[in-house]
Chains A and B, each alone.
Chain A
Amino acid sequence: MAPSAPQEPGLSAVPSYEEEQSQARFDALIDRDARVEPRDWMPEPYRKTLTRQVSQHAHSEIIGMQPEANWITRAPSLKRKSILMAKVQDEAGHGLYLYSAAETLGTSRDELNDQLLTGRAKYSSIFNYPARSWADMGAIGWLVDGAAIANQVPLCRASYGPYGRAMVRICKEESFHQRQGFEILLALSRGTEAQKKMAQDAINRFYEPSLMMFGPPDDQSPNSQQSMAWNIKRFSNDELRQRFVGMIAEQVKVLGMTLPDPELHYDEVKKQWIHKDLNWDEFMNVIKGNGPANSQRLERRREAHREGAWVREAATAYAAKQAQSEVA
């Protein structure tokens, strides 16, 4: 590390010798592409960035349960009902793995949950669209879980140990999510006219939002550079989006359906996929809270929290009584 500049009034204190040592140790870990573990010293901005990213990710898993939970009771066959139930339940598990990782950074789940319920925390904006038809269960599995997987596979190597480990566990479980979604669409694509129409309609609605799951274009994503430098992120938003759109462009042919993007093509010169311009205004608007289902999604979480309060209290009270009687 460079020697510290002379202190100017109003600026933060000069890092102490210990801090510089710690910073050097941290930098060395990152340089070696080694993992940072919870009790290691880490720079505050690193901790903050990770806490935000991991908790947003956790919130997304939890809020993301809702559009699919909406169809469990109406699933059109008992086999699909089982699969969907298992899938939604997995997402709850993913949320828990991630909260568990976030907590190792020093923020309690209670606090993280509070951030979500009071609207201070963000989550993936795609879940603020309603799941209107059964085909949405297919499109969500194929496109939304698919985009999530493309994002998450590199995160298995994130520099923060607990985050990377949570991602490994999640990725293992995700392997069936995308496939079950694709197979829902495949069944519909081989079905009646009404089923085909339902499938195409769902693909049309989820295509663009799923591409936006990778985040804003690289030139508008100010924090990405730093995250890459810290080995949290391994690929840029646009790089991952490219790869994803290339994969689904092939997969959609198996379905005999189309992607709602007449401009989509592979540019042989640039060696990359070109897709239409995405509606980032709408994206920002949904992030701000104005998506069709923002209000409903948050209220469901608040309601569950509120209605569950007496249960959590009772269990706490029981545990306290038990502890007391053991002492006595």
Chain B
Amino acid sequence: MKHEELDAALDSFGDALASATRVTPGNALRPEDIAVDGVAPSDEVAQYALTLGDDSLILAQRLAHWISRAPELEEDVALGNIALDILGHARSFLTYAGLAWDKSEDDLAYWREEEEFTSLWIVEQPNGHFGVTIMRQLIVSIFQHLLYQKLVSSADETLAAIAAKAVKEVDYHRDHAIQWTIRLGQGTEESAEKMRHALDILWPYVDEMFRDEAVHQRLEGIAVLPSTLRDAWQEEITAVLTDAGLQIPSTGQAMVYGRRGEHSEHLGYVLAEMQVLARKHPGASW
């Protein structure tokens, strides 16, 4: 390599390499498109989009913590992909919701108070050990997969479009969680014990996912009624747990109402960390 070649290579580094590869960003729906081209939803639809966005945002925030801490480097990359997908869903839902109130995704993520968040308790639960994270992923991704499958036929076109991209990605998240649940459930005595423990501590937050709230009932044909997903979810997760040599625990169901802004003690810390920098610089752009 000659000096001039190096100079040329460094000069045009970004452009030359970007076009020299077959790498393309794809043409999926992005939050930026929704912000520009989106039609503002009604207040009611926005409320619904907010619930979906909040679930994804908090879950992505949780998963993001794994990067550089996973059991093996390959898993750092895998969890990173999943977190990125879910953050993408959050951004799309929040951007869409924000159109109703003239707010950006960041206004909603960084400047709402804890009681204004509508996330489910299950996504707020701490990462714990890898098995807890996998079990949380199993519970949530099967739920989200069923949900988005139905949302694809929502009468609201934007929600349907967001769901159309998300459903494929969540299908992979579900597969990832299933593969790991089976391996950890059947791996060693220690890993099976850890998975039983994960089930015990997370199971109380299952029912909340399927509770129909007023917002769902008022949006017939637009929102998916969570209660309609319950049977399919139960069947699917039972099959996975059986494959993994695990059983649905006998724990009761917690009386929790994240959708109404009543959150676990964990959420305050999640938000404190997420919002601290943005709030230190009101009005700043980044």
Binding site for B on A (CB under 8 A): 62, 65-66, 69, 72-82, 85-86, 88-89, 92-93, 95-96, 99, 134, 149-150, 153-154, 157, 171-172, 175-176, 178-179, 184, 187-188, 191-192, 194-195, 234-235, 243, 247, 300, 303-304, 307-318, 321
A99, A175, A188, A300: the one within 8 Å of B18 (CB)? A175
Q: Would A318 and B182 count as touching, CB distance under 8 A?
A: yes
**What 1/0 flags go to B1-39 for Cβ under 8 Å of A?**
101001101100110011011010000000100000000
Q: Would B68 and A304 count as touching, CB distance under 8 A?
A: yes
Is there a chain A Cβ closer than 8 Å to B100's Cβ? Answer: no
| Extra inter-chain contacts (9) besides given A313-B188, A318-B182, CB under 8 Å | A80-B286, A85-B64, A88-B68, A89-B77, A92-B76, A179-B14, A310-B191, A315-B187, A317-B188
- Give the interface SS of chain B, mostly helix, strand, loop or mixed: helix
Interface residues of B in 174-224 (CB under 8 A from A): 182-184, 186-188, 190-191, 194
A72 smallest CB distance to B (angstroms): 5
Give the complex CA separation of A298 and B155 in angstroms: 53
B204 smallest CB distance to A (angstroms): 24
Q: Would B87 and A78 count as touching, CB distance under 8 A?
A: yes
Q: Would B69 and A300 count as touching, CB distance under 8 A?
A: yes
B213 smallest CB distance to A (angstroms): 25
* Chain A residue nearest to B244 in the complex (CB): A318
Given A65-B68, A76-B278, verify A89-B194 contact (CB < 8 Å).
no
Q: Would A73 and B68 count as touching, CB distance under 8 A?
A: no
Is there a chain A Cβ closer than 8 Å to B83's Cβ? Answer: yes
Give the complex CA separation of A308 and B184 in angstroms: 12
Q: What 3 A-B pairs come out closest when comparing CB atoms? A: A314-B187, A308-B71, A89-B80
Given A96-B73, A187-B286, A192-B281, verify A89-B6 contact (CB < 8 Å).
no
A73 smallest CB distance to B (angstroms): 5
Q: Would A149 and B13 count as touching, CB distance under 8 A?
A: yes
Interface residues of B in 77-116 (CB under 8 A from A): 77, 80-81, 83-84, 87-88, 90-91, 94, 105-106, 109-110
B77 smallest CB distance to A (angstroms): 5
Q: Would A76 and B277 count as touching, CB distance under 8 A?
A: yes
Give the complex CA separation of A317 and B106 in angstroms: 45
* Chain B residue nearest to A179 in the complex (CB): B14
Is there a chain A Cβ closer than 8 Å to B129's Cβ? Answer: yes
Residues of A within 8 A of B130 (CB): 307-308, 311
Residues of B within 8 A of A178 (CB): 13-14
22 A-B Cβ contacts within 8 A?
A: A65-B68, A73-B65, A74-B273, A74-B276, A76-B278, A77-B278, A88-B80, A89-B67, A89-B80, A89-B81, A92-B68, A92-B77, A95-B73, A172-B21, A194-B281, A194-B284, A235-B6, A300-B69, A304-B69, A309-B71, A310-B188, A314-B190
Given A172-B21, A184-B286, verify A134-B69 contact (CB < 8 Å).
no
Is there a chain A Cβ closer than 8 Å to B285's Cβ? Answer: yes
B177 smallest CB distance to A (angstroms): 14
* Chain A residue nearest to B83 in the complex (CB): A85
Is there a chain A Cβ closer than 8 Å to B237's Cβ? Answer: no
Q: Would A73 and B286 count as touching, CB distance under 8 A?
A: no
Interface residues of B in 254-286 (CB under 8 A from A): 273-274, 276-278, 281, 283-286
B239 smallest CB distance to A (angstroms): 18
